[in-house]
Amino acid sequence: MQENPLPVALARSVEDFRRYLDSERARSAHTVRAYIADVENLLRFAAAEGVEKLADLELGTLRRWLGAQSESGRSRATLARHAATARAFTSWALREELIASDPALRLQAPKRDHTLPGVLHQQQVSRIFENLSEAAADGSPMPLRNRAVVELLYATGIRVGELAGLDIDDLDPDRRTLRVLGKGNKERTVPYGVPAALAVDDWLRRGRPRLANERSGPALFLSSRGNRIDQRQARSVVNDLLAALGDTAATGPHALRHTAATHLLDGGADLRAVQEILGHSSLATTQIYTHVSVDRLRKSYQQAHPRA
């Protein structure tokens, strides 16, 4: 069933907000799509209540919209995201003088569930790299690439999208650092260790030249056809390795990011240094890994202490 079109003024505001996200905020394509989908959902709800222009948007409409989302079974995390999108949208509309006051200032949503991320034990990480090294022993390009991909993900804690966007000249082999373009086009420099350096060098010497072609450009990691590796391919590599462990619920490249952060903190790294490495804009985001470390400590204590 086709949805009714938005009133002209509301539809125009959606497109203006999209351009704002694309140009001024430099949001990723995925983030822009999510924001716009939420805004369109909100404005369709508002239009059904008789709202034809943003100036008519009221706090009550926003609250009823969130209530309808809750009744449809949306999770608390999704409701929190919807509320954040609504606040971003009305804040933009106020700056653009499309509304006289911000109706979302008092909009509240349920707090997110702060579930602890899946984290691998160091023994599990060692098993992963043993499997990768065995696969790469014959010098075939794809196993060499996969070992370098996983070594770099774990060594640096970068996001899979950041990894896929890496070019060869983003590496500084002498200093063992990596230039990463993160969220909001923010650039940061991340160090990596000797095992990752050796794996990447092996890939560049023996693997990449056998896959590179006119479509490869400067991309650091390539697909079997010589194109730049995409996020789906990198996720598949990591998912297969984690599934092969057989003793973890952790999934996807983000598990390696969580693991890298937790192991850094377990080893005594400064919280702000970890924040910088991960590219978090807020220290509060990084602090979840301190909770992970405490949780792991508690479990170890309960398992080992005779009077736990």
Question: Where in the sequence numbering do the catalytic residues fall?
Answer: 159, 183, 254, 257, 280, 289
Dihedrals φ, ψ of 159, to 5°?
-75, 155
Instruction: Please tell me the distance from the alpha carbon of residue 269 to that of residue 267, in angstroms, as a whole number.
Output: 6
Instruction: Please tell me the distance from the alpha carbon of residue 162 to that of residue 65, in angstroms, as a whole number.
Output: 35
The conformational region for residue 146 under phi > 0 = left, psi -120 to 50 = alpha, else beta, is alpha
Distances 131 to 73, 168, 201, 229 between C-alpha atoms, Å = 42, 26, 19, 21
Distances 217 to 11, 13, 165, 181, 255 between C-alpha atoms, Å = 39, 38, 12, 18, 29
Q: How many CB atoms lie within 10 A of CB 252?
A: 16
What is the dihedral sign for C-alpha 93, 96, 102, 107?
A: positive
Distances 54 to 61, 172, 202 between C-alpha atoms, Å = 12, 50, 57
Q: Are 176 and 267 in contact (CB under 8 A)?
A: no
